[in-house]
Copies of this chain bind each other. A is one copy, B any other.
């Protein structure tokens, strides 16, 4: 069986945001076993699994990703919307914009330290849409 819903996230500032609880609140009752697929419907945002406890992991992601994929590199041509334009697109494909998570015993089956990060790569990304698909 397949259930599907589309939700709009609150507007997040640029950075990495733990959204596990937010997602869980939006989900209908989960099946005993299955998969949850999450798609971010944007090309300068991302979604990934990472540490759900210490907030410096999220701030280190912001600091380091900005070094690995720096703004204002002279190779870029797609910069019409500002220095965070093409770098947002690049980060989106390096981190990924979709994710699948197993469902076990009617709950998301993540590791103890795993949480879902929503990654906003633009300075002013606005409210972002995601599609949630539950397979069972």
Chain B residues near A99 (CB-CB < 8 A)? 98
Cβ–Cβ contact A50 & B43, under 8 A: yes
How many angstroms from the CA of A89 to the CA of B68 in the assembled complex?
Answer: 15
Say what secondary structure dominates the interface of chain A. Answer: mixed
How many angstroms from the CA of A92 to the CA of B60 in the assembled complex?
Answer: 14
Q: A122-136: contact bitstring with B at CB < 8 Å (1 yes, 0 no)? A: 000000010101011
A102 at the interface (CB under 8 A from B): yes
Interface size grouping (class) on chain A? 35 or more
Closest B residue to A46 using CB positions: B93
A49 at the interface (CB under 8 A from B): yes
A95 at the interface (CB under 8 A from B): yes
